Amino acid sequence: MDIKATYKPAAFFVITFLITWSAWFIAAYFSYQEGMEGLQALFMLPGLFAPFIAAMIMIYRSKSPELRRDYRDRLLNFKRIKLATVPIMLLLMPAVILASILLSLLFGKSADQFAIVQQFSFSAGPVPVLLLLIFVPALEEMGWRGYGVDSLRSRFNLFATSLWFGLLWALWHLPMFFVRHYYQNELLSNWVYTANFWVSIFPVAIIINWLYYRNNRSIIACFLFHLSVDLASEIFQVEQFTKCIGTGVLILIAVLIVIADRKLFFGEKEPG
């Protein structure tokens, strides 16, 4: 069976959003109830698992041995990774953050942003934030790159796929804006910083999808990059103004990647 024919993007994203939004809006309610931190954390978990759960449902329902083998190999086979791209996976986002801090100095921002944080910029209730920063990228990538992105690319070229995925990925985070003390919730104090969060997702989506297909659809490669994005964003004392500069830098990088690799982005629709 042709793997491309088994992909059903609408079903995957409907399942993902139903699980995530239902669980996270309930978690948002409990986040404002004193003494309910345990229930808040309990309802956050299904949302974090949702992309992975949806991927497993879709792969199982496909009844395609080829799709199952393909998923396992993309998840476990380190040989898919091109060594030349490893520095990009691990160092691109820290470099973007450091460059953004340097640029922010021109606007009178503090050099203290280079200092390593003593505590993270947000709370996750009883769940250790560091664990969340490692755990979440793994679960997301096993779902997004495990099934979601390939399912979109079975319908569109990579550029359109990345834009559609960026939009869906941004909307997936929506309930987090209502969970008290979560990072997205803290952004609501300033509409510019809220908008910057939404905008920043699109260049990241382009870059991570480029890494995905340039590493033979390796889920591991995407996890490493996703992890570096989350850690780099939290490890330095970066001001939100500087993160806006970082979004501009990411947009520039994404544009250059698309221009340099036009054939990949505007070529065939099917994954692989």
pLDDT confidence of residue 120: 58
pLDDT confidence of residue 1: 53
pLDDT confidence of residue 182: 84
pLDDT confidence of residue 99: 97
pTM for the whole thing? Answer: 0.92
pLDDT confidence of residue 271: 54
> DSSP letters along 196-260, please?
HHHHHHHHHHHHHHHHHHHTTT-HHHHHHHHHHHHHHHHHB---HHHHHHHHHHHHHHHHHHHHH
Catalytic residues: 140, 173
pLDDT confidence of residue 236: 87
Angle between helices 86-105 and 191-214 (to 10 degrees): 150
The one-digit pLDDT tens for each residue of the chain (272 residues) are: 567 778 999 999 999 999 999 999 999 999 999 888 888 888 988 999 999 999 999 999 998 999 999 999 999 999 999 999 999 999 999 999 999 999 999 999 999 999 887 765 555 555 556 677 788 899 999 999 999 999 999 999 999 999 999 999 999 999 999 998 888 998 999 999 999 999 999 999 999 999 999 999 999 999 999 999 988 887 888 999 999 999 999 999 999 999 999 999 998 765 54
